[in-house]
Amino acid sequence: MRMKLIIKGGTVVNADAGPGVPGAPYPSGKLDLLIENGVITEISERIAMEAHGQAVDVIDATGHMILPGLVDAHCHLRDPGLEYKEDIETGTASAAAGGFVAVACMPNTEPVTDNAEIIKYILNKAELSGYVKVLPIGSVSKGQRGEELSEIGEMKFAGAVAISDDGRPVSSPSLMKKALLYSKMFDIPVISHCEDLDLADGGDMNEGYVSLELGLRGVPSVAESVQVARDVLLSEYTGVPIHIAHVSTEASVNLIRDAKRRGVRVTCETCPHYFTLTDKACLGYDTNAKVNPPLAGEKDVAAVRAGLADGTVDLIATDHAPHHADEKNVEFSSAAKGLVGFETAFGLAYTNLVLTGVLTLAQLAEKMSRNPARLLKLDGAGAITRGGPAHLTIIDPERRYTVEPERFLSKSKNSPFGGFTLQGAVAYTIVGGKPVVRQGVLLE
Amino acid sequence: MSLKKKDLLGIKDMDAEEIGEILETAKSMKKLLLAGTKRTPHLQGKTVVTLFYENSTRTRLSFELASKYMGANAANITASGSSVAKGETLIDTGRTIDVMGTDVLVIRHPLSGAPHLLAQHVRASVVNAGDGMDEHPTQALLDLFTMREKKGRIEGLRVAIVGDVLHSRVARSNIWALQKLGASVCLAGPTTMMPREIERTGAAVFETAHEAVAGADVVMALRLQLERQKSGLFPSIREYSRFFGVDTGRLRLAKPDVLLMHPGPVNRGVELTSAVADADFSAIDEQVTNGVAVRMAILYLLARREN
């Protein structure tokens, strides 16, 4: 491997860190980058190739946008135990193709990632076969059973970046309070999947006109917001930050906006499907549109977009949730919930948020790189800085393409976006100075 | 005459013309039935299979008799006595039946959308005989047939549907069907059993049975699944029948020539009193007879599509 890399002719787009922030990112503009041994050593208007001799790799980024490497704070790699859906190798290949340099994987593996040994297994396997960095998330409770806390401290020291019970939400308010208080000792973020299971009552999709039309059992949108309200209040009471996963409804966005205004240390994410699709995507019993939380109504999609624009929604995560075709090619009520998201996330965000004026590209870099990196406390990631690690995502902003799930690198193809035309394609994914995707192609 | 689509999955996707065609054909079928002709060559050489994942008396039997009266080879499969009990998927079961030379596959399934999934994977025509809370299109068609026979028209009728609308596929199919043919639909039921955004269907929604029934040409009571009480949707059967049971007093608010309907089986004393269920304005038995005629029409129109 060549030790030097020059990226020429591209436009650097940095999330704005604000004045006076130490190690502040370079302001956006047309700039060349010199990378040596995985570190960005020079950022300037023109870097002469001649000065660096033969042993230099050059990427011509003319017409391209150079973003701080995308970070996904929420995905499922299904490894260990559910490798028929995805494994760390295929999952990180898919992530790399989607422009992600690091992905945080949820603990609903088999067995559950509730102890240091499984955290180590994931990190070792990622070291051996991963294309991008893998950041394991440990469970809040042993076996995600919602009864006793997992060994959060042990997991943190083994390398866990956060704790969450994700899709098996912490139903007990008292356990959530304990999780917040306990995690504070280890300065590890708590991510909450907000769903009141009693209200959701095993429903298949958002409760509304479409569920009535399809005769499917509805999940009332208040099943999410009731729990958001609870978690915001628990965070306020304990003074410990909380991160709300995949916010999908208007009421949740409003609750979080109000909480932030009064100083509660709450952050939240949404996913591309929540700012793109409504529950109408379920028409025809399309099981690829079955996801948890369920796709909601038009006013919810509008509220999620407004929340992204005004900063209520801090970041965009994929909730990449691979499922085997056999788990989707069944009756809607029997189908698994979730969709694969790595390979469509950037295109959906660029097409639906940047081209429509909801966010600038720099703001998108905040939502997909800086803020997830901050949440997970990743040193050096999330910004392009001199002296910082070279985690970069290079985008061709003009390229339009049709989504073809059968060509995804993920083992699973469960996407409701097949046939969508998107603009903004990932051209290069560079992890620690090493290109893993080049001209849109994964380097094996 | 024939139907445009391969399958009959729901009223929602049908137009008034297709519905009219089925009702017209059913008229001739009923004549045959009344004439005692129970062996016609309409479906000679055709195979009709009923695949039932839920219990049923009238629907299953009427499909079976309809097939046999028209000379089809008829077979039926129930979930408990088949590979379904061994964990076979719906698609695999459907394909198996399909490749044995089935022309029409009639399915009842507890999960909404099951017939739609099946239809995508088999060559045979699929008829939805009730799927979850979605639709029961052949029931709505026989209801329309009965109303038209008794009232001479559908357009302009005021039809009250009373009961558990939320869980009722009969209600949904009737809401779509009646409005497509120009009737107005008035709904009443406990508010805990009324789907959210139900007004968007175009039906008028009331919180009391008497408001819905007032001035109605037709009153349709829905079957109450008694186990719903356990999930807390209503406090007791006694209170349900007090507020939503159809009895002589409530029917007095309807038009004098009101027609009473019920998809069956009836919980006597719950959604209907025996006095009204057995009264001369009750069309419940007629509905069952018409069910055979309507299903004969549907099977015939689907089976001859391929020719």
pLDDT values of chain A reduced to their tens digit, one per residue, 444 residues? 457 999 999 999 987 644 444 445 566 789 999 999 999 999 999 998 887 877 799 999 999 999 999 999 999 999 999 999 999 999 999 999 999 999 999 999 999 999 999 999 999 999 999 999 999 999 999 999 999 999 999 999 999 999 999 999 999 999 999 999 999 999 999 999 999 999 999 999 999 999 999 999 999 999 999 999 999 999 999 999 999 999 999 999 999 999 999 999 999 999 999 999 999 999 999 999 999 999 999 999 999 999 999 999 999 999 999 999 999 999 999 999 999 999 999 999 999 999 999 999 999 999 999 999 999 999 889 999 999 999 999 999 999 999 999 999 999 999 999 999 999 999 999 999 999 999 999 998
Residues of B in contact with A202 (CB under 8 A): none
Q: Which residues of B touch A (CB under 8 A)?
A: 12, 89-91, 109, 111-114, 116-117, 131-135, 169, 172, 195-198, 200-201
| Contact assignment for A331 to B113 by CB distance below 8 Å | yes
CB contact under 8 A, B111 and A334: yes
Query: Alpha-carbon distance A17 to A365, whole Å?
Result: 11
Is B134–A220 a contact, with Cβ atoms under 8 angstroms apart? no
More confident residue, B39 or A244: A244
* pLDDT surpasses 50 at B153: yes
| Backbone CA torsion sign across A254, A255, A259, A260 | negative
In chain A, which residues have their Cβ closer than 8 Å to the Cβ of B89? Answer: 326, 329-330
Q: Which of B180, B221, B234 is nearest to B203 (CA)?
A: B180
Percent with pLDDT over 90 in chain B: 89
Angstroms from B132 CA to nearest CA on chain A: 7
- Nearest by CB to residue B113, choosing from A207, A209, A285, is A285
CA distance A285 to chain B (A): 6
CA–CA separation, B288 and B296 (whole Å):
13
Contact yes or no for B133 and A333 at CB 8 A: no
Query: In this complex, which of B133, B196, B197 lies closest to A215 when CB atoms are compared?
Result: B133
What is the 3-state secondary structure of chain A?
CCCEEEEECCEECCCCCCCCCCCCCCCCEECEEEEECCEEEEEECCCCCHHHCCCEEEEECCCCEEEECEEEEEECCCCCCCCCCCCHHHHHHHHHHCCEEEEEECCCCCCCCCCHHHHHHHHHHHHHHCCCEEEEEECCEHHHCCCCECCHHHHHHHCCCEECCCCCCCCCHHHHHHHHHHHHHHCCCEEECCCCHHHHCCCCEECCHHHHHHCCCEECCHHHHHHHHHHHHHHHHHCCCEEECCCCCHHHHHHHHHHHHCCCCEEEEECHHHHHCCHHHHCCCCHHHCCCCCCCCHHHHHHHHHHHHHCCCCEECCCECCCCHHHHCCCHHHCCCCECCHHHHHHHHHHHHHCCCCCCHHHHHHHHHHHHHHHCCCCCCCCCCCCCECCEEEEEEEEEEECCHHHCCCCCCCCCCCCCEEEEEEEEEEECCEEEEECCEECC
Provide CB contacts within 8 A for A400, sequence distance 6+. Answer: A421, A422, A423
| Contact: B111, A331; criterion CB under 8 Å | yes
Tell if the CB–CB gap between B114 and A218 is shorter than 8 Å.
no
Name chain A contacts of B205, Cβ cutoff 8 Å: none
Going by C-beta distance under 8 Å and a sequence separation of 6 or more, which residues neighbour residue A373? Answer: A68, A71, A102, A381, A382, A383
Chain A residues touching residue B131 (CB < 8 angstroms): 215
A204 tagged catalytic: no
How far is Cα A245 from Cα A270, in angstroms, rounded to an integer? 7
| Minimal CA separation from A286 to chain B, in Å | 10
C-beta atoms of A213 and B12 within 8 A? yes
| Six token digits for residue A379 | 């040193």
Q: Give the nearest chain A residue to B197 (CA atoms).
A: A209
What is the per-residue pLDDT for B226? Answer: 82
CB contact under 8 A, A285 and B111: no
Q: Which domains does chain A have, with CATH numbers?
A: 4-66+387-442 (2.30.40.10), 70-375 (3.20.20.140)
Taking CA atoms, B307 is separated from A435, B69, B101, B302, in Å, by 61, 20, 15, 10
The pLDDT value given to residue B306: 59
Residues of chain A whose C-beta is under 8 A from some C-beta in B? 207-209, 211-218, 220, 284-285, 326, 329-334
Contact at CB, B196 and A212, closer than 8 angstroms: yes
Give dist(CA A332, CA B285) in Å, integer.
35
Indicate which residue of A72, A165, A231, A319 is catalytic.
Answer: A319
Instruction: List chain B residues with CB under 8 Å of A215.
Output: 112-113, 131-135, 169, 172
Q: pLDDT digits over B232-256, tens only?
A: 899 999 999 999 999 999 999 999 9
Q: Is the dihedral of CA A393, A397, A402, A403 positive or negative?
A: positive
- The three-state (H, E, C) secondary structure of B94-159, written as one string: HHHHHCCCCCEEEEEECCCCHHHHHHHHCCCEEEEEEECCCECHHHHHHHHHHHHHHHCCCCCCEE
> So what's the pLDDT on residue A16?
63
CB contact under 8 A, A212 and B198: yes
Q: Which chain A residues are within 8 Å of B135, Cβ to Cβ?
A: 215
Per-residue pLDDT at A26: 60
Q: What's the CA gap between B294 and B25, in Å, rounded? A: 8
Task: Measure the CA–CA gap between B300 and A426, rounded to whole angstroms.
Answer: 55
CB-CB neighbors (< 8 A) of B116 in chain A: 284-285
Q: For residue B171, is pLDDT > 60? A: yes
Contacts of B188 (CB under 8 A, 6+ apart): B160, B161, B162, B205, B206, B207, B208, B209, B211, B212, B213, B244
- Among A201, A207, A210, A214, which would you mutate to test the B interface (most chain B Cβ atoms within 10 Å of its Cβ)? A214
Q: Which of A214, A284, A331 sits opposite B90 (nearest CB)?
A: A331
Token pair recorded at residue A257:
């906006």
The β-bridge relationship of strands B218-221 and B158-162 is: parallel
Q: If 0-12 CB within 10 Å is exposed, 13-18 middle and 19+ buried, where does residue A218 land?
A: buried
Nearest to B169 among A211, A215, A331 (CB): A215
Q: Do B196 and A213 touch (CB under 8 A)?
A: no
Backbone dihedral region for residue A414 (phi beyond 0: left; psi -120 to 50: alpha; all else: beta):
beta
How far is the alpha carbon of B256 from chain A, nearest alpha carbon, in Å?
Answer: 33
Contact A208 B117 (CB under 8 A): no
Q: What CA–CA distances, in Å, run from B293 to B38, B64, B145, B288?
A: 11, 12, 9, 9
